[in-house]
Amino acid sequence: MTLPTFNYMEVVYLIATALFILSLKWMSAPTTARRGVWAGEVGMLLAIVGTLFEKGIIDYHWIFIALVLGTIIGVPLGRVAMTAVPQRTALSHAFGACCVTLVGTAEFYLRSPNVPKFMMAVLCLEVILGGLTFTGSLMAAGKLQEVLPQRPITYKGQNLVNLALLAVAIVVGIVLILHPEHKNLFPAMVGIALVFGVLLIIPIGGADMPTVISLLNSYAGLSAAAMGFVLNSKLLIVAGALDGSSGFILSVIMCKAMNRSFANVIFGAFGQVQAAAAAGGEAKTVRSATAEEAAAILGAASSVVIVPGYGMAVAQAQHKVRELFDVLTKKGVDVRFGIHPVAGRMPGHMNVLLAEADIPYDRLKEMDDVNSDLPQTDVALIIGANDVTNPAARTDTSSPIYGMPIIDVDKARTVMVIKRSMNPGFAGIDNPLYYLDQTLMLFGDAKAFVGDIVRELSGSGGH
């Protein structure tokens, strides 16, 4: 008996696969997460360098040009401001899907007409998923960057058109599986997938972006896994499956946090419906307060919970919020942050912004933790968040957000809301929180108003 011989590349890929799994495992806690990035980088480097020595490769010319070009594009994308992370993420989903779709297309033309049925089916899956993720993610990035309108764009029969398009793409795919010699059908299928991706994202509003980005993340992973099947690369299958399951888990978390189903997010056109529902509100009275009054209440409190939302990111107020955190902490006030899972435009968005502003992460609390503390909390301060604090989600069965888990800020002794005006927020739902007896409205720009409060607090300091 002789020792088995094997391709050394498979060993390199095996090590890279192990490093990828460890990378995600170490990602679970902030103390080990940077080690996770390191493991991922080493695995990636091993795999790429190993591949460059692959026997079949005869021409390095274009490979190196592409690697250099990719690095030149990648570095500035890695340096974007933290507020731009959601659109960067959407853009990178688009790039990933673009790569997979192009490789799938090239593989088809190299192999056609001798494509086994199963191989063709996986190829179809790869390019349909890849194509719709590519344009869908570009659309999402455009909406997040506000190049495209954030409001959902809807028309009659929209869902029917979308489903019909997807059905046509699948039928073309089936024809190709049976007759892979019809080369002309392939670009048609890719084209339909690209159009479908655009139409799929058009009706989705900004507030639904956390779910949509997670879903696109999942699709990008699955299309990469399909590519792994086509190329018979176990490493790629594993990486795609990990990415796919990650995106899937995040989508489920986001959907649960909004008490909605996938189908409802994709086909629901949320913002539109609510804008109509909010039209019939009657005039109610609110109490407003100045920065001076707000500072006095905050300074006298022993515990404060700050609830940030997308408005804080828009106003770039996170650094002022850190100053507020510092001055209150110095006065002995216990300040924590209540982070709703869908606050912001992508999963974990608020945590990154607050960490960037140097707020220690042990002060950032999840919704359930903070909710059990809120009845004993003196002040809940809401900065740029709306729907995630709306008590109608608990009480009003007719509200579009009924059943959505919220941060129970109305249970705090005093509620303060920093808001530009009484205009209903992006989603257009009226918030009964603003009319409660213990609620004070602080009208103004989040950054400027928090700055004023900080000035009052540090000016009157030392009592």
Partner 1 sequence: MSGDVLINSLFVFMLAGFIGFEVIRRVSPLLHTPLMSLTNALDAIAVVGAIVLVGEGKSKLATILGTIAVVAATSNIVSGFYITDRMLKMFKTTRPQKP
Residue positions annotated with a catalytic role? 387
What would the x/- binding string for partner 1 be over residues 375 to 394, using CB under 8 A?
Answer: --------------------
Q: Would you state the structure tokens that stand for residue 365, as one six-digit string?
A: 């609390």
Residue closer to partner 1, measured from CB, 43 or 203 = 43
Which of the stretches 45-53, 158-166, 289-297, 441-449 binds partner 1 when contact is defined by CB under 8 A?
45-53
Q: How far apart are the first and last CA of the chain?
A: 86
- Classify residue 376 as exposed, middle or buried by CB count within 10 Å of its CB (0-12, 13-18, 19+): exposed
CB of 350 to partner 1, least distance (A): 9
DSSP E strand boundaries for 226-332: 303-308
Does the footprint of partner 1 cover residue 239 (CB under 8 A)? yes
What would the x/- binding string for partner 1 be over residues 146 to 165, using CB under 8 A?
Answer: --------------------
Residue closer to partner 1, measured from CB, 99 or 277 = 99
The reply to whether omega before 113 is within 30° of 0 (cis) is yes
CA 20 from centroid of its chain's CA atoms: 22
CB of 220 to partner 1, least distance (A): 6
Does the footprint of partner 1 cover residue 82 (CB under 8 A)? yes
Strands, sheet with 303-308, edge to edge from the N-terminal-most edge strand: 364-366, 334-339, 303-308, 379-383, 414-419, 439-443
351 CB-near residues (< 8 Å, 6+ apart): 339, 361, 364
CB of 405 to partner 1, least distance (A): 13
Which of the stretches 185-193, 234-242, 428-436, 440-448 binds partner 1 when contact is defined by CB under 8 A?
234-242
The answer to whether 175 and 185 are in contact (CB under 8 A) is: yes
Binding-site size, partner 1 (CB under 8 A): 113
Does the footprint of partner 1 cover residue 119 (CB under 8 A)? yes
Measured at the CA of 265, the angle between CA 262 and CA 268, to 5 degrees, comes to 125
- What type of residue sits at position 135? T
Residue closer to partner 1, measured from CB, 80 or 174 = 80
Residues 296-355 that bind partner 1 (CB under 8 A): 339, 341, 346-349, 351-352, 355
- Which of residues 7, 8, 14, 70 is near partner 1 by CB under 8 A? 70
Closest-CA residue to 423 (of 323, 278, 225, 324) = 278
Residues 15-34 that bind partner 1 (CB under 8 A): 16, 20-21, 23-25, 27-31, 33-34
